[in-house]
């Protein structure tokens, strides 16, 4: 670990003392604190103290914005991505251990010609992160900025592994893995997309964070965002970080400068409710087999969950208009977009996106 000058170490200790009194950090103080973490000033015990002190007290929107600014200012960004590029990413940390939904959605959308700049990581607070599953699928995790940019423009799909674009995050990775619980970094990751997309479907593991997530992205220049949090009926783990079949999904939406709040139900999309256990996942190999089977035409709750999320992704990408001017869901359009997502799978286009990502040509 790189250790900074004593004055920086003392400044971080002062921030920890402030955290210990349960006093929130301002946006500027949070940007400074997370900057010191990523610059290698803090040791692992101090990083754990910062993250858990904030978690126990309850993190604030100002702390989230400051942390995101610190991370974005140090990331290695893609240059000139397509202006309509979208990211689909969850915060993780919901405890359900489901199959990888957003990674599957990325292939479905790319199969329909939507440029997807998918940001992901290895498992830090879950069983199998996006990068773990992609590796198990035989998809190389590229680190060359120019190559990733070409993939996004020519294949409509670039998988951006967080360590390649956020090398400074390595100072916190071991702590996050050791803690194994949701920290503020779970919320920061999806808001620090290396392609600087302005369109995002963000799955959130706690309904209370829907508004802060969208507030943060709006302040950073996003134009169309849905932050979604599924409510799991009859479970001790109440929330899930995706649009779900297991109950209502709460949505905070930003659309061309206008905010909307509404709820989605599976029936609105013409889909049947199913418990979260129906999409329970395992390790990377198991999840990879399920994902490939899905793209090869397997039916069931996993497919329906992916179609539901992909349909909303199409709206965010500007390929449909689910909401009317009052922010009400147009169910006929939602069902039409579900059918478009199904076509991506049934036509083989989504599988083709996977094969292209593997480097298979035919």
Was 123 annotated as part of a binding site? Answer: yes
Was 7 annotated as part of a binding site? Answer: no
Residue count (the chain):
362
Was 20 annotated as part of a binding site? Answer: no
Residue 226 Cα distances to 13, 77, 128, 259, angstroms: 37, 23, 24, 10
Was 298 annotated as part of a binding site? Answer: no
Instruction: Find out whether 135 and 103 touch, Cβ atoms under 8 Å.
Output: no
Strand partners, 203: 90, 228
- As a whole number of angstroms, the distance between CA 26 and CA 28 comes to 5
Was 100 annotated as part of a binding site? Answer: yes
Was 101 annotated as part of a binding site? Answer: yes
- Reported as type and span, the H/E element at residue 109 is helix 101-111
DSSP-derived 3-state class of residue 191: helix
Was 146 annotated as part of a binding site? Answer: no
Was 130 annotated as part of a binding site? Answer: yes
DSSP state string for 66-91: HHHHHHHTTS-PPSS--TT-EEEEE-
Was 135 annotated as part of a binding site? Answer: no
Of 215, 184, 179, 177, nearest to 31 by C-alpha is: 184
In a 10 Å sphere around its CB, with 0-12 CB exposed, 13-18 middle and 19+ buried, how is residue 346 labelled? exposed
Was 121 annotated as part of a binding site? Answer: yes
Of 201, 211, 195, 212, nearest to 72 by C-alpha is: 195
Residue 159 Cα distances to 78, 260, 265, angstroms: 12, 30, 30
Of 55, 11, 45, nearest to 31 by C-alpha is: 11
Instruction: Find out whether 232 and 246 touch, Cβ atoms under 8 Å.
Output: yes
Was 14 annotated as part of a binding site? Answer: no
Was 299 annotated as part of a binding site? Answer: no
Was 256 annotated as part of a binding site? Answer: no
Was 90 annotated as part of a binding site? Answer: yes
Was 122 annotated as part of a binding site? Answer: yes
Residue corresponding to tokens 């035409």? 297
b/e code 4-36 from CB counts within 10 Å (16+ = b): eeeebbebbeebbeebeeeebbebebbbbbbbb
Of 224, 235, 310, 313, nearest to 274 by C-alpha is: 235
Please enumerate, by residue number, every residue annotated as part of a binding site for Mg(2+).
102, 241-242
Q: Specify binding-site residues.
A: 90, 93-94, 98, 100-103, 118-126, 130, 176, 241-242
Binding-site residues from annotation for 5-phospho-alpha-D-ribose 1-diphosphate = 90, 93-94, 98, 100-103, 118-126, 130
- Binding-site residues for anthranilate: 90, 121, 176
């Amino acid at each position: 670990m790189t250790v900074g000058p004593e004055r920086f170490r003392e400044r971080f200790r002062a921030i920890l003392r402030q955290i210990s009194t349960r006093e929130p950090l301002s946006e500027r103080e949070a940007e400074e604190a997370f900057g010191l973490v990523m610059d290698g000033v803090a040791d692992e015990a101090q990083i754990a103290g910062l993250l858990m002190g904030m978690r126990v007290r309850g993190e604030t929107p100002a702390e989230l914005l400051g942390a995101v600014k610190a991370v974005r200012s140090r990331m290695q960004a893609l240059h000139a991505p397509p202006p309509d590029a979208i990211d689909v990413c969850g915060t993780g940390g919901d405890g359900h251990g489901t199959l990888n939904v957003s990674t599957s959605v990325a292939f479905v959308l790319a199969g329909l010609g939507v440029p997807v700049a998918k940001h992901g990581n290895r498992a830090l607070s879950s069983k199998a992160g996006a990068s773990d599953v992609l590796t198990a699928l035989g998809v190389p995790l590229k680190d060359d900025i120019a190559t990733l940019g070409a993939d996004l423009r020519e294949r409509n799909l670039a998988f951006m592994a967080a360590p390649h674009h956020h090398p400074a995050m390595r100072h916190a990775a071991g702590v996050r893995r050791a803690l194994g619980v949701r920290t503020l970094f779970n919320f920061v990751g999806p808001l620090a997309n290396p392609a600087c997309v302005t369109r995002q479907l963000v799955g959130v593991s706690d309904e209370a964070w829907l508004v802060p997530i969208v507030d943060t992205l709006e302040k950073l220049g996003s134009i169309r965002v849905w932050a979604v949090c599924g409510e799991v009926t009859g479970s001790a783990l109440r929330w899930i970080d995706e649009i779900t079949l297991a109950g209502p999904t709460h949505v905070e939406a930003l659309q061309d400068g206008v905010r909307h709040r509404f709820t989605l139900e599976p029936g609105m999309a013409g889909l049947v409710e199913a418990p979260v256990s129906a999409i329970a996942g395992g390790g990377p190999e198991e999840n990879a087999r399920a994902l490939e089977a899905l793209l090869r035409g397997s039916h069931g709750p996993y497919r329906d969950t992916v179609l539901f999320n992909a349909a909303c992704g199409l709206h965010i990408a500007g390929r449909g208009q689910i909401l009317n001017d009052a922010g009400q869901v147009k169910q006929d359009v939602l069902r039409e977009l579900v059918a478009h997502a199904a076509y991506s799978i049934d036509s083989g286009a989504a599988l083709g996106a996977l094969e292209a990502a593997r480097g298979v040509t035919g």
